[in-house]
Structure 1
Amino acid sequence: TLQILLLLLLAAEKRRIDFVDAISPQCSVLEQIEALELLGSAFACREHGICNLEKSFEYFYRALKLRCEHNLPKIQRLSTVEVFDNRQECQTIDELEELRLNDDHMYTEALLVRERLLGPTNTKYCRSLRFCGALLADNAQHNRGVDFWLYELSLRRQYSLSIDINDLRQWASVFSDIICKSISIPIVAWQTIITVIFEELEHNAKNFDYNLHTLLFLITIVSQIVSKSIISHDDHKIFYRHIRIIVQRHYVTQTYGSSLLHLSLNNHTSANDYFIDSICKYPCLHTARLILQCGADVNAIDAIRNTPLHIFVSNSTIVDDTIIQYLCNAGAHLDYVNALGETPIDVAKNSNIKQFLKSRTKLNLKCLCARLIQKNSIFFHGKIANSLINFIEKH
């Protein structure tokens, strides 16, 4: 029955050899074969426990022997996949014997078996792909690990499966690890993840802020690469083109209305991830500069009308004025007020920074007029151009 078959496959997936042996006699020969194959794949996949390729070989061998005895060949894939080195599953015991001394080929065989038996949309199979990629990255085979993650992600997109926000965040983590080891990031992988995050931001309002922070971390990683000039001119153009598109979407957090520029200058911005936090430290001049170079509004306001400059100078741990100088040179207004009527000078915690801001404050006639209108509560809506209304409100 179907219930017995499900129990058999579950036992195989859990490496319960005793249950597999007990249930198998009640199933067909083909069902017994597939249970042995699934059992063999489970022993190769480390998310199920310690990897035991000898056990994996043993059960693959038994399954192939039964297939040969009962003339039940495997159904081959219609096309091969590059991440599996374009391999097909073994059809004979001789082919299996050739894999025995090659661990990588045994892992590939196990994943091919799992895809055939569980299906490309199966959660357990997708988890096996991600786990394999993570192990490769941990063993300094970053590009190979990224290939497995990209394949898993392509399956999710192809079959419209949900994408876990933590899986997307892990991309920022592995990219950070790659940067720490002075290895170049695969540009195709970065482009793919940016595209997926775009899609998630457009359609997944529930986790919007989390995904927006992931996007920020990916931008910061790029800013570190650009600052070190370790990429080609073509890759440089690709990064900038994507970030311009990001900036043009004017994303802000749902909680505080913070733009990417606000977040990049906020000392509370953190991933709580060892690898990401080792690269993405905020406030970050490189990130802010990259975002501004790609067209961000230096005077954007959040939910309580704080500009990025408000956010930055309110940090009491500032040690120099480099970022402030850059913001000022980019056109930051020192006299813009937040919802409490405070200018950046008013919210500055550091006395030296406060003095520096005062030295940079040079009000022009336009700003003086705007402040006068606000100070005297002069009604101006409907009487002036819309482009001026926002300017006056910021004063």
Structure 2
Amino acid sequence: MVPCLPDCPAPAPAQLVSYQRLSSAAQTPAGPPHPVPAPRRSLASPPVPATAAATPGTTATTEIATAAQPSSPAPPSAPLSAALLPAQSAAAPPWPDPPPSRSGALGLHAAALPSPAGGDALAFPSVATDAVPAVLPEAAAMMPHHADPVTRPPHEQSLRPSEDLPHTATPPSSHAASATPLIQPPGNTALHDCAESGSLEIMKMLLKYCAKMEKDGYGMTPLLSASVTGHTNIVDFLTQHEQTSKTECINALELLGATFVDKKRDLLGALKYWKQAMEMRYNDRISILNRPVPQTLIMAYDYAKEVNSLEELENLIADPDEMRMQALLIRERILGPSHPDTSYYIRYRGAVYADSGNFKRCINLWKYALDMQQSNLDPLNPMTASSLLSFAELFSFMLQDKAKGLLGATVAFDDLMGILCKSVLEIERAMKQIQCPPDPIQLNKALSIILHLICLLEKVPCTSEQEHFKKQTIYKFLKLQPRGKNNFSPLHLAVDKNTTCVGRYPVCKFPSLQVTAILVECGANINVRDSDNNSPLHIAALNNHLGIMNFLIKSGSHFDATNLYKQTASDLLDEKKIAKNLIHPINHTTLQCLAACVIVNHNICYAGHIPEKLEKFVLLHR
């Protein structure tokens, strides 16, 4: 029986419904299935999106009209925002940045990112129903769970192959935003589920039987959850409820306005709710509720600050870009930097700037979001890895199109080097956790991203001082002695072709002789072994890369060193006749190596009878 307080009416027998069933009913999605996106093709250069949300500076009238009309067939191109933000998978949680949060997992992320619809294809928030360019980050395994498809406005639709999505005739202009999480975050209540799914009638029933509006692990009340997901019916109802304070009403209305800006692209609707909130702040002259004054202005937000008068608020309609900065400021103030939606929408807004060719503004916003993640999340958090990968994808895109003469953008050494330093810092933080060792899979991904960044750095011109700083950073990275999957060292990864597939699309191609050379120059151990006792030379042989094999041998790697299965690098080349003819074992075997092999093959006791240095040499041939 549902517990009731003394003043609450006792429910009739037919009304006795468990909170568990109510919660399940509250999560049932109300919206139609996800619309089918446009076919995908590669991107030659990032087009200027047709919608107002894509390009800063468009008018509110255009933006509102675009959001209100059913979408027309998408042009055969794709905005960069579709490529540079993380995505989802049916087998993995569909959101990039945070640990599972209720307001994030149920509502906002479901509306800002598509729900899983089969397969491992990834999808990204975009500002137009365009195709996906050939630079995309991978983040399917990094996100909180959704379960049901959601229909979103065109700028938020999935940009993945149509065969991965359910086919539907539903117009993509619908603004439904509800989904069911596969994981319930801490502190989840049935009221939160109702708020995020828009189930007003069930919410009224719960409140009738004295359900309390408690906060979740992120400090989110059901009212704030409804504001994040954009369910105006829930917000209108709860702002009039007796359990809601005036401050909570104001925060909810301001947050709902931010949702209208970034998620629904309705600037006039945002102004409506912001105006209501401001009137509530100042309608009582005795107890005016002023906004907290920020200590410093944020460069990533172009030093914008929140408006404090109705006149300033009205003037925002003439500057849509300023409105979008207001939305970011409001969301960060109310939700806080640790909430996943805060960093997500900063990254999304940066991707929109990249669509219009303003890469510097994009980089500044993404750096700010990355700093926010590293300050609030555990080391090697999947969301942080997603941000680092997005940077690698962006820099690769800029360098490739610069080489083709398609873009005037240049990658600054300091920008790329700064991200490499932040990536190394992430590894350093993880390696310091002695009681909780890092996950090898996540560590392996982080190591692969670092190698891609190093590869990109080799394509950027720099001064001698910058070159020294780069090598100093790589040396610091190698001294941490990180190991990834299968106990791979960074040098193992540099000579392995699987390192290429760090995301949905490759940034750099591996095995890479250039990356291998700089790792060895900066102190990488060429005889390091993985869990199968393979040296980097063994892995290079498996990948049939003769250039790297020759380089490693010249650098001191032993061609006749054996792995766990008593195989030498030569043995791994048995089926590659051409390679074996080019690299013959006799040309790389010394008398010392032959002597070590005799000791090993005849089980001669040598420990304590030869110098310790020679003992290690014999072990290489074991």
Query: What TM-score range do you get, normalising by the shorter chain?
Result: 0.7 to 0.9
Q: Which of 557, 562, 570 is 1:337 aligned to? A: 562
| CA separation of 1:70 and 1:287: change in aligned 2, threshold 3 A | same
Shift of 1:286: 1.4
Distance in 2, matches of 1:52 and 1:229, equals 41
Partner of 2:369: 152
Judge conservation of contact 1:169–1:214 (CA < 8 Å) in 2: no
Partner of 1:390: 616
Distance in 2, matches of 1:28 and 1:266, equals 59
Q: Which of 214, 229, 235 is 1:20 aligned to? A: 235
Judge conservation of contact 2:559–2:568 (CA < 8 Å) in 1: yes
Shift of 1:220: 3.0
Residue 297 of structure 1 aligns with an amino acid whose one-letter code is N
Residue 59 of structure 1 aligns with an amino acid whose one-letter code is Y
Shift of 1:360: 6.1
Q: Which of 291, 301, 326 is 2:551 aligned to? A: 326
Distance in 2, matches of 1:209 and 1:4, equals 36
Deviates more, 1:385-394 or 1:113-122: 113-122
The SS at the match of 2:584 is helix
Counterparts in 2 of 1:283-302, with a 5 A limit?
A: 283-302=511-530
Counterparts in 2 of 1:56-75, with a 5 A limit?
A: 56-71=270-285, 72=288, 73-75=290-292
So what's the TM-score if we normalise by structure 1? 0.88
Distance in 2, matches of 1:173 and 1:120, equals 20
Shift of 1:163: 5.8
Partner of 1:353: 579
For the pair 1:195 / 2:421, whether they are aligned, the reply is no
Judge conservation of contact 1:173–1:273 (CA < 8 Å) in 2: no
Counterparts in 2 of 1:1-395, with a 5 A limit?
A: 3=213, 6-26=221-241, 27-46=244-263, 50-71=264-285, 72=288, 73-159=290-376, 164-182=381-399, 183-184=410-411, 186=415, 187-203=417-433, 205-226=437-458, 228-253=459-484, 255-275=485-505, 277=506, 279-315=507-543, 318=544, 321-348=546-573, 349-358=575-584, 361-395=587-621
Judge conservation of contact 2:388–2:449 (CA < 8 Å) in 1: no
Residue 101 of structure 1 aligns with an amino acid whose one-letter code is A
Judge conservation of contact 2:379–2:427 (CA < 8 Å) in 1: no
| CA separation of 1:223 and 1:21: change in aligned 2, threshold 3 A | closer
Distance in 2, matches of 1:310 and 1:251, equals 19
Judge conservation of contact 2:411–2:460 (CA < 8 Å) in 1: no
Judge conservation of contact 2:492–2:535 (CA < 8 Å) in 1: yes
Distance in 2, matches of 1:252 and 1:161, equals 18
Shift of 1:157: 4.0
Shift of 1:138: 4.6
So what's the TM-score if we normalise by structure 2? 0.57
Distance in 2, matches of 1:78 and 1:301, equals 51
Shift of 1:162: 6.5
Instruction: Report 1 or 2 for greater relative contact order, CA contacts < 8 Å, sequence distance ≥ 6.
Output: 2
Judge conservation of contact 2:431–2:480 (CA < 8 Å) in 1: no
| CA separation of 1:65 and 1:196: change in aligned 2, threshold 3 A | same
Distance in 2, matches of 1:229 and 1:159, equals 31
The SS at the match of 2:583 is helix
Residue 494 of structure 2 aligns with an amino acid whose one-letter code is S
Partner of 2:159: none
Count of aligned residue pairs for this structure pair: 385
Shift of 1:168: 1.3
Judge conservation of contact 2:498–2:510 (CA < 8 Å) in 1: yes
Shift of 1:289: 1.1
- 5+ residue gaps, structure 1, are none
RMSD over aligned Cα, in angstroms? 2.6
Higher helix share: 1
Distance in 2, matches of 1:60 and 1:243, equals 49
